[in-house]
Chains A and B, each alone.
Chain A
Amino acid sequence: MPIEIPTLNFIALAPPLIVIGTALLVLLFDLAVTDKRVLGYLGLVGVVIAAGVSIAMGPRPATTFQAMAISDGYALFFNLVFLATAGLSILIAIDYLERHDLQRGEYYALLLFSASGMMLMAAATDLIVVFLGLEIMSVALYILAGFNWRQLASAEAAMKYFILGAFASAFFLYGAALTYGATGTTNLNQIGLWLSGGNSDPMALVGLGLLLAGFAFKVAAVPFQWWTPDVYQGAPTSVTAFMSVGAKGAGFAALIRVLRSGFGDSAYSADWALAAAVLAVLTMTFGNLAALPQKDVKRMLGYSSIAHAGYILVGVAAASESGVRGVLFYLLAYAFMNVGAFAVASALERRGEFSTTQRDYAGLSQREPLLAVAMTVFMLSLTGMPPLVGFWGKLFVFRAAVEAGMSWLAIVGVINSAVSAFYYLGVVVQMYMRAPAEYSPRLVGEESDAKKPAAVNLEVAIGTAVLLAMLLTVVLGLWPGPVASLVTMMPLG
């Protein structure tokens, strides 16, 4: 039998390949360049080129590598979400790493590798590729979480993330194995074909459950959320900004494709919709209630990110085209507002300290009025106040739930948004209604400058990240039309 030459359409995977190529260039230049900030800007150039190529490719579906991956509108839209997140995170990291004396070239390479894994997950149409994308993303993130290697908290975050991440990967794999056993294939479209033919097998149902558990871990849904606050708090803030949006978005990208292409038209479609609805209720309620008493802003944002996973799960539970569109819009909105919030938090961190408490925000409106305005915008948008972009994200996912006959789910979501206002607005109250002098020392040897407020040194790159995120949060909030119509042109291929 002659061996056929396989058709390898590399163009279809151009955006992740460009990102990988940039990461390799960063590693190469790392040997020669002494000012590592240059590497950050090099990474940024790669990210911008990859985003440009994604836009230029347009939403024409093209499969590649024997239908193991596809470049459809859905994947390209997710590319934009991940590249926006990566770009803003690189801008934050350039100054953040410099200030904390962590500047290393590997950082940017790892961040780009991780982003390429996320893009691969969104493009994957085969469980093997989903798994590989998941691991490319996760392994780089484990290292990044421990990048602040002199601090115990960072090493602890890396260890917890690693053990629980590998644990979840095993669940995902077992789910993939059982699905393969039932359907005889790992290709999502063929799994969908087999299941839509009226076939059913208890092994496929168990497999679906295990796949759901694996993804629930990656997107930090209850009851797989234990790692989230610790990892978000312990990791360097620039990494937290990246993974809070990137890992969550990639998890949802692959989850939705597996559920819709694989299990969408099957005897189990009502089962997974109900499971997603239950997860959504538990996740948003737990995230919001746990965020209420938090004093450390990074930890509070960690719990809030659990709540946001819950809101996005509402769109998944709707199990409809409009639900998918809502999730797409929500994740783009979340990329800007959440990375923006972390950008402000990292701008306020003083040298040698790796977190900010509520007190560090006291009187910020007098010290740094622009930063206070930006943080207010992000907090209001995360709450879901109109006319900011977070409002539209919530509106689209909740509307999809109502259309799918799950009004109760939308009501739970709205109540949860009201609860979340308490802790988001708590930060705003600190910034505008407390005097800066309320800052008190946290360390014993710090009495000498006890009355001195936290020094804000807003560098160029972080400032640019804050400004860009704020502009996009406001502009897309006032003018959501283009993105909302773009999302409708981006169906699953």
Chain B
Amino acid sequence: MTAVPTSWFLLLSAILFVIGAGGVLLRRNVLIMLMSVEMMMNAVNLTFIALSRHLSSLTGQIFVFMVMAVAAVEVAVGLAILIELNRLRATTDVDDVSSLKG
């Protein structure tokens, strides 16, 4: 049985990151954009953990804990903003929320 090489993990997380970034840029539903950002963060987490194992260093795993905590905070604040927006205008589509232009 051979071990999975680190480069595979890095490739997978790069693909996940690009899918997430694509989601933020292409999708128009705020909830899906929020999920896409989460996906980007978790792709980074995978990178950190793979590199942490590869380098036999704990720093990467500690960084992941920080990222997870911060991601939870961001979701809490993001959903609060979304609820506020939904009260003022019943939509989750960013194209319906465009009063600021110029």
Contact = CB atoms under 8 A, between A and B. Distances in A.
Contacts of A150: 88
B44 A181 contact: no
A22 to B, nearest CB: 21
B11 interface: no
A162 B77 contact: yes
Nearest to A233: B100
A414 B37 CA distance: 39
A294 B85 CA distance: 26
B77 A296 contact: no
B102 interface: yes
Most chain B Cβ neighbours within 10 Å, of A135, A160, A170: A170
A146 to B, nearest CB: 5
Contacts of A149: 84
Interface residues of A, number: 43
A173 B41 contact: yes
Interface in A122-161: 127-128, 131-132, 135, 139, 142-143, 146, 149-153, 155-160
A229 B80 CA distance: 23
Contacts of B44: 170, 173-174, 177
Interface string A229-251: 11001100000000000000000
Report whether over half of chain A's contact residues are helix, strand or loop; otherwise say mixed.
helix
Given A170-B37, A170-B44, A159 B85 contact: yes
Contacts of B10: 181
Contacts of A156: 85, 97-100
A180 interface: yes
Contacts of B30: 159, 163
Given A152-B89, A153-B100, A176-B63, A162 B47 contact: no
Interface of B: 10, 17, 20-21, 24, 30, 33-34, 37, 40-41, 43-44, 47-48, 51, 54-55, 57, 59-60, 62-63, 66-67, 70, 73-74, 77-78, 80-82, 84-85, 88-89, 94, 97-102
